[in-house]
Amino acid sequence: MNPDLITERTTEMSPRFQARLAGAIAWITTTSAFAIFVRAKLVVSVDAAATAHNILTHELLYRLGFLRRCSRPAVYPLYASAIQLI
């Protein structure tokens, strides 16, 4: 085999690797952005009463954030499986 051909093949990223990398990055950025949004909207770091008021006022947002945090371990393998099919 030609050594130049082998070097050329190993320096390229395969389409599958690119898709996996894109999916991992999309997953990380999407969940991180949602967590930052929820935290910024609900939590007041110096006032527990204001935080409690924000949680009661935006109960759906609080529940969605809690659901995302609890469901992540169950959803991650499904998402990883979906990315592998790309």
Give me the residues of the chain with pLDDT under 50, please. Answer: none
pLDDT of residue 9: 54
Q: Where are the alpha helices (DSSP H) in the chain?
A: 3-11, 15-42, 48-57, 59-84
pLDDT of residue 71: 73
CA distance 19 to 25: 10
Convert the pLDDT of each residue in 60-84 to its tens digit.
888 887 877 777 777 677 667 666 6
Domain borders along the chain are 31-86
pLDDT of residue 49: 95
Backbone Cα Rg of the chain: 21
